[in-house]
Structure 1
Amino acid sequence: MVVHNPNNWHWIDKNCLPWSKTYFDEHVVKTKVEQNDYKFFLNSVDSVTGDCDVTQRKGKVLCIYDMKLQFQVEVQYKDEENKLNAKITVPEFVHDQDEDEYVFEIDADDHKSEIRKIFVPVLKSKLMKFQDDLIKAHEKDVQHATS
């Protein structure tokens, strides 16, 4: 992306939604947790929808995103052969959200409380890295070198 923007004064946006899907595939898929006789494995990102932009205005790089995320998780209890598939949805993954404001909707026939207690904190910690990684990956695309 070529930017003609003296002193980085004008508003520049870059759509990063396709990059976001790739990011979650690379950084969240294959997340594994084993604890308290449970094994959890996040095996796919079903959907990433909404808006995700890196923007620059008056020399400051910011990101603005409001997405809905859906993940497939496999749950196995003890040494049982049967595995339960669960869906975790984050209905609002937003750039100005505090860590304690994340909502995780769990669609599973069984073991919902264990998914929430054991797996969700690990997933949340991975999601918390997204904003910094997004800006680092795209800030050069929205700023003009002013040397």
Structure 2
Amino acid sequence: MAKWGEGDPRWIVEERADATNVNNWHWMERDVSSWSSECLHQLLLGVRVEGPEGVCQLTEVTKLEGEASINNRKGKLFYFYEWQLRLRWLGQ
């Protein structure tokens, strides 16, 4: 533990009457479910695999349920996600 007045200036060691989370230093959580849902939908529909045995292409996303969030704790990012996917595909 740093002595009073010493240490990293980003540390908030003084007590704040307003309990402000300065610069989101302690904890910040953002819901990115809608953004990641759209992204997954676009990325998955573009998947096409070709090989010597044949071709496989994703044609439809029938189920895309779940959630995703980004958390910031002391300047470090943490990603949490849970998705259930159901896809239709064609292959030859």
TM-score tier after normalising by the smaller chain length: 0.5 to 0.7
Structure 1: which 5+ residue stretches go unaligned?
A: 77-147
What per-residue deviation string (whole Å, max 9, x for no partner) do you get for residues 6-63 of structure 1? 1432321111111122111222212111223421111122222222101111221111
Matches within 5 A, 1:30-41: 30-41=46-57
| Alignment pair present for 1:74 and 2:77 | no
Q: Which has the larger radius of gyration?
A: 2
**Greater share of residues in strand:** 2
Aligned length: 73
2-structure distance, mates of 1:23, 1:57:
25
Spell out structure 1 runs of 4+ moving beyond 4 A. Answer: none
1-structure distance, mates of 2:78, 2:70:
6
What per-residue deviation string (whole Å, max 9, x for no partner) do you get for residues 110-147 of structure 1? xxxxxxxxxxxxxxxxxxxxxxxxxxxxxxxxxxxxxx
Q: Which one-letter code corresponds to 2:57 in the other structure?
A: F
Partners of 1:7 and 1:59 within 8 A in 2: no
Q: Which one-letter code corresponds to 2:29 in the other structure?
A: D
Partners of 1:25 and 1:45 within 8 A in 2: yes
Matches within 5 A, 1:95-134: none
2-structure distance, mates of 1:67, 1:26:
15
Report the TM-score, using the length of structure 1 for normalisation.
0.44
Q: Which one-letter code corresponds to 1:8 in the other structure?
A: N
1-structure distance, mates of 2:58, 2:76:
35
Q: Which residue of 2 aligns with 1:113?
A: none
% identity of equivalent residues: 27
Superposition CA RMSD, Å: 1.9
**Greater share of residues in helix:** 1
